[in-house]
Amino acid sequence: MIPLKYNARNLVVRWKTTLMTASGFTLVVAALVVMLAFVEGVQKVCTTSGEPENVIVLAKGNNDEVFSQIDTRLASELENSRGVGRNDAGVPLASREIFLVVHRRLEQEGVFKFLQIRGVQPIAFDVHTQIRIIDGSPLRASQSEVIIGKGVQREHQLNVGDEIEMGRKSWKVAGVFEAGGSAFESEVWADLPELSSQFRREGVYSTMVLRTEGPEAAKELMTQLESSRSISCNPKTEPEYYAKQAEQTQMITSAAWIIAWFMGIGAIFGVMNTMFAAIGQRRKDIAVLRIIGFKAHEILISFLLEAILISIIGGFLGIGFGMSVNGFSRSTAIGAAREVAFAFSVTEGSIIFAACFSLAMGVVGGLLPALSVVRIQPLEALR
């Protein structure tokens, strides 16, 4: 076998070309890693959001809380459905909620951001058991208070004691909560009656969340509601509902894939061009190797490895750059008008995938030039 140092040193000798060619791979691989980290991050939020015991009920024909409207009559019917749990005081574990999205201007940055607001009753904290106050105090009714998810705290730079304008009045941030990384962390929670009156939404709810004994019971309740003739609504288990929301990031993902493919084709042509040039410049080397006794296919492999080496260098840098987004928090729009805070999550799987993608590009780009080596006639090349 022709020693790899032969290829490595040639790459070093023409290091500018090497770096330029490799940078194509870096770009593609970095983009891939970031994209996969984005998808992974959003998916993580959406799959951790929602407890399998909970059934979220929206109005018939609605798939998103923002547009859903449930009236009081339907709400009480749902509340009394078979399978809905009760707390120690015998109150049904049914949370009537309204969900609003407003724009809020961030003074410092001068930009508008979505603010998702959920109006809840005290029972909500028995239904959504993931909620934990991590700073300040719990929500009190009728006190013009809100509690905010830690995603909101970060994105909107709000803290306990700050005031937020919502509706026609100002609300005080009483506490900050976390919710196991779920979408709730991107929300502001306020007292339901107080919020309804501010936004003139009295007597109408967006959703109703029913807590059952367990995942099985939740599924049962869901089918029961679906098949019920007297109740007309759109029930889903919470995990299902949020998984559905994650699907909407598919658009972004597809677009990113298309871009990655095009950049990939660019990188392939780049390495092809570089390798054709390299082979042209090293015809004499090739001739001598052949004369000494190396076979055409051994030289082919050597040049293919050189292309792969470029893809490894580029891919390595790309993975490095891509990984730097790991843990970086952003928010993204999912669903109709909802912004969810998520953290880019670079997984082992996506690194392996990106590395393989880079290698594959190297092989594809290097193959044609390497095959051309076979056609070089040693005696002609030395003349």
Q: In the complex with other proteins, which residue's Cβ is closer, 128 or 290?
A: 290
Q: Taking contact as CB under 8 A, which single stretch among the options 29-37, 165-173, 286-294, 311-319 is the one that binds other proteins? A: 286-294
Min CB(43)–other proteins separation in Å:
47
Site size toward other proteins (CB under 8 A) is: 22
Q: Which of 289, 300, 307, 340 binds other proteins (CB under 8 A)?
A: 289
Given the complex with other proteins, which of 83 and 378 has the nearer CB atom?
378
Nearer to other proteins, 255 or 382 (CB): 382
How many C-beta neighbours within 10 Å does residue 269 have? 12
User: Contacting other proteins (CB under 8 A), which of 173, 290, 339, 376?
Assistant: 290
CB proximity list for 377: less than 8 A, separation 6 or greater? none
Does the footprint of other proteins cover residue 301 (CB under 8 A)? no
Report in angstroms how near the CB of residue 290 gets to other proteins at its nearest: 7
Residue 300 in contact with other proteins, rule: CB under 8 A: no
Q: Are 314 and 25 in contact (CB under 8 A)?
A: yes
| Least gap, CB of 279 to other proteins (angstroms) | 14
Provide the residue type at 87 as one letter.
N
Interface positions, 349-378, toward other proteins (CB under 8 A): 378
| Entry field: residues in the chain | 383
- Strand 132-136 relative to strand 169-178, pairing: antiparallel
Shortest Cβ distance from residue 17 to other proteins (Å)? Answer: 14
Does 9 help bind other proteins (rule: CB under 8 A)? yes
Strands 169-178 and 145-149: parallel
Q: Taking the CB of residue 47, how many other CB atoms lie within 10 A of it?
A: 14
Instruction: Return the residue of 292, 348, 375, 380 that touches other proteins, per CB under 8 A.
Output: 292
Interface map 243-262 toward other proteins (x if CB under 8 A):
--------------------
Of residues 310 and 317, the one with the C-beta less far from other proteins = 310
Q: Are 308 and 366 in contact (CB under 8 A)?
A: yes
Could you say whether residue 1 binds other proteins (CB under 8 A)? yes
Give SS3 for 307: helix
Q: How many CA atoms lie within 13 A of 181 on its CB side?
A: 14
Q: Radius of gyration (Cα) for the chain, nearest Å?
A: 29
φ and ψ of 236, to 5 deg: -145, 150
Q: Are 112 and 104 in contact (CB under 8 A)?
A: yes
- In this structure, are residues 187 and 51 in contact, taking their beta carbons and an 8 Å threshold? no
CB 32 within 8 A of CB 357: yes
Q: Verify binding: residue 3, other proteins, rule CB under 8 A.
A: yes
Q: Which of 125, 276, 294, 316 binds other proteins (CB under 8 A)?
A: 294
| Nearest one of 256, 209, 355, 190 to 42, comparing CA atoms | 256
Q: Which range binds other proteins by CB under 8 A, 23-31, 224-232, 292-300, 364-372?
A: 292-300
Binding residues vs other proteins (CB under 8 A):
1-3, 5-6, 9-10, 13, 284-285, 287-295, 378-379, 382
